[in-house]
Amino acid sequence: MPTPVATPSARSGAAARAAERAFSGIQPSGIVHLGNDLGAIRNYVALQDQFEAIYCIVDYHALTSLHDPDLLRRWTREMAASLVALGLDPERCTLFVQSHRPEHTELAWLFATVTPVSWVERTPTYKEKKASQPEDVNHGLLTYPILQAADIAIYKATRVPVGRDQDAHLELSREIVRAFNHRYGETFPEPQAVHTDAPTVLGTDGVRKMSKSIGNTIEILGPPDLIRKQVMSMVTDTLRIKRTDPGRPEVCNVCQLHRFFGDDYLEIQDGERTARTGCVDTKRLLADRIIRHYAPARERYADLMAHPEEIDGILEAGADRLKPMAAATMAEVHEKMGLR
């Protein structure tokens, strides 16, 4: 797999670690899919060595769509185990659960008082959620990006490893901290997104971004049979009807994903273009490679899930470690806003 591209201007070494902080959040959605890993988690792992890195499982955010307490608890633990299995190292980063640091919601409220309603109403994800869960257009959906801004700002993070779908949220985060700084004086830095070389991974339908809510995912830590089934269901080049038709690898999602699982990407493309290989062959090979690539992580995941107390300990230690930093920011904000 190629090295994740940590742009903009990823710096390395102790100086950069001290100077800047990376932060990102991920919803406890139960499964971690290929889009999460190629679009974001690979960079979470890479940035551990470049900056002080903080990663958060955003259960408060999840509550805007999920109202089952047992499921939320289970999925939170599963997401933590997935992240550690994929390479987050509690010695090199801080991993925690959002609701364990309730200062996030307090800062979100304070940010809400400097955020015009029109800014949150125009957020694309709000519009999408309104359409996808019309029976549950709760206020949290509207406030969602304000809480996201608070997540980042409370630790004064400057680098935010995310997929392209989070760009609008990041833009809003910058606007919110700018509005705060303008009214109360320079307090928060403006965060920048850090993308991998796969900022948008398409789902098995080959059209929409891979997403659990759409149901077009490849569950990389799931059982090999499931991964194989999901990969074999992928839509390829829709104009390639017969096995002998030449393919167009540039529009085939399967061919595109091969880029991340072997050095023979160009050869695979060529096979498709000249109809030397069929779509089924290319999918079978991709399934084998994904299964093989994630085998060690799948094993670590199973190990961790067999020892839930270990996961809970990592999350608890993470939240404790962040307490002084969150408290210092809140004290500064209280002072500036006239609250204490």
Q: How far apart are CA 180 and CA 147, in angstroms?
A: 14
Strand order in the sheet with 21-26: 94-97, 52-57, 21-26, 159-161, 192-194
Query: Is position 323 annotated as part of the catalytic site?
Result: no
Q: Which residue has the tokens 């060690």?
A: 296
Query: Is position 212 annotated as part of the catalytic site?
Result: yes
Angle, nearest 10°, between helix axes 265-273 and 279-293?
160
Q: How far apart are CA 286 and CA 257, in angstroms?
A: 8
Q: How far apart are CA 4 and CA 122, in angstroms?
A: 32
Read off the tokens for 97. Answer: 């659960």
Helix or strand holding residue 95 (H, E): strand 94-97
Q: How far apart are CA 34 and CA 231, in angstroms?
A: 11
Q: How far apart are CA 208 and CA 216, in angstroms?
A: 8
Q: How far apart are CA 129 and CA 113, in angstroms?
A: 23
Q: Which parts of this chain interact with ligand TYM (CB under 6 A)?
A: 23-27, 29, 35-36, 39-40, 58, 61, 148, 151-152, 160, 162-163, 165-166, 169, 199-201, 209-211
Q: C-alpha angle 26/60/135, rounded to 5°?
A: 100
Q: How far apart are CA 237 and CA 208, in angstroms?
A: 15
Query: Is position 283 annotated as part of the catalytic site?
Result: no
Which residues are identified as catalytic? 129, 209, 212
